[in-house]
Amino acid sequence: MLAVAHPGLRNEVVIVHVVVVGCGRVGSGLARILEEGGHSVAVVDRRSKAFSRLPENFSGKTVVGVGFDRDRLIAAGIEEASALAAVTNGDNSNILVARVARETFGIDNVVARIYDPRRAKIYERLGVPTIATVEWATERVLQRIMPARPTAEWIDQSASVLLIERPVPPRWAGHKVSELDLLGAARTSAITRLGQGSVAAPDTVLQEGDIVHVTIDGNSLDLFDRHLAGELTGGTH
């Protein structure tokens, strides 16, 4: 099912049908949020008791079976779906489901939950979008047990790009954002100053106490922190 609500309005709402394979914590939460957003949802799980995680007022379809079974996917409305999320607790199953959805049913918007980040990156290169659970979980645990540690606000699904926040050291006060950025490796996206956020411009002058929000290549995190500390050749002193 694909419908567009209020097509004449500027902020039109696109209502789609989504198939969620796996009704664990992630799958059930995803189904709930999608339905609350007005979308139609079908949930597939090999265990019928898994559907007890869904809200009591869940009005979507539930299908018992393995997610890579074409008949089960058809029963879930895959032929009318605009998206599929494979979020079972098995990497192999999730990848197989994602491939069936894309290659057999032509679904463009597909994502697979992967626990092994090394495998996730392999599948990314093959064109299968993934969410590497381990990378996200590790980052969240570190945030809890080491609250003073600089953390990532956002990590893309391949862990290649991060959005980090850093306080501006006194050495950088009076310097421009363009001096802080590293070409091809780090770019300041926004600044929080006295609790007020704003989009950063190259000529924005930094002040002590600012918080910079920096989009950074995942392999350049240490390089940027050294730059921020003035350790690189030509750094600020």
157: closest CA among 202, 195, 203, 112? 112
Amino acid at 226: R
Q: What's the pLDDT tens digit per position in 17-30?
A: 999 999 998 889 88
Q: Which two tokens stand for residue 61?
A: 């379809």
pLDDT of residue 11: 42
pLDDT of 9 higher than 50: no
Q: What is the pLDDT of residues 215-233, one digit of tens each?
A: 998 788 889 989 998 887 5
pLDDT at 8: 41
pLDDT at 6: 37
**CA dist., res. 230 & res. 224, Å (int):** 10
Write out pLDDT tens, residues 151-195: 666 766 566 788 888 889 999 999 999 999 999 999 999 999 988
Per DSSP, the residues of 148-217 read TS--EEEE-TTSSEEEEEEEPPGGGTT-BHHHH-BTTTEEEEEEEETTEEEE--TTPBP-TT-EEEEEEE
Domain boundaries, the chain: 2-136, 160-228
Residue 1 has pLDDT above 80, yes or no: no
The amino acid occupying position 181 is: D
Task: Compute the chain's Rg from CA coordinates.
Answer: 22
Query: Does CATH number 1.10.490.10 belong to domain 2-136?
Result: no
For the segment(s) 160-228, the CATH number from 3.40.50.150, 1.20.1050.10, 1.10.150.130, 3.30.70.1450 is 3.30.70.1450
